[in-house]
Amino acid sequence: MPRGAWIPLVLVVAATSCGGGGTLSKKELQKQAEAVQSFAAEGALVAQGAQQGRTTDTFVRVHTEYLAKAARKVESELGSKHASEGLDQKREDATKLASLVSQDLDRLHRDPGDRALAARLRLALAKNAATAEELAK
């Protein structure tokens, strides 16, 4: 696929309230997990492009920075909320997953030309996307 034809996935914007804190609803947790899934899936596509040399280093740096920042925001928001006992483990899992996704995106951001790293991160991000999808159920 030519560079100009590469179209990123549509990001799911996390539907959260401003100010943090509060109680996390099941629907809100689902939306946050879907956001993490989206960031990880799009990150996997960016990593694949980097691995195959189909994207510029600048594109990889800018896009991964944006995705990592969004994942950190979800991590922060999930970490500041309380959840009922039934949702607390899922909240913790989603928080940790958002952290892993942001860390992987940061690694790709720092070294966008490393094709071997991009290949490893593509697999890790794809796995995290699948895990987040399960958490959203």
pLDDT of residue 97: 97
Give the confidence band of 85 by pLDDT, cuts at 50, 70, 90: confident
Measuring CA to CA, how many Å separate 42 from each of 47, 62, 97, 107?
9, 13, 15, 15
The values of phi and psi at residue 12, to 5°, are: -90, 120
Q: Are 102 and 43 in contact (CB under 8 A)?
A: no
The values of phi and psi at residue 16, to 5°, are: -130, 160
**Lowest-confidence region among 57-61, 75-79, 81-85:** 81-85
The pTM of this model reads 0.83
pLDDT of residue 23: 85
Please compute the mean of the pLDDT values over residues 104-128 and round it to a whole number. 98
Q: Are 9 and 38 in contact (CB under 8 A)?
A: yes
Q: Distance between CA atoms of 55 and 45, rounded to whole angstroms?
A: 10
pLDDT of residue 37: 98
pLDDT of residue 21: 65
CB neighbourhood size of 121 (10 A): 25
Domain boundaries, the chain: 31-135
Q: Distance between CA atoms of 137 and 26, rounded to whole angstroms?
A: 10
pLDDT of residue 8: 45
For 3-54, the pLDDT digits (tens) are: 443 334 433 333 333 445 688 889 999 999 999 999 999 999 999 999 999 9
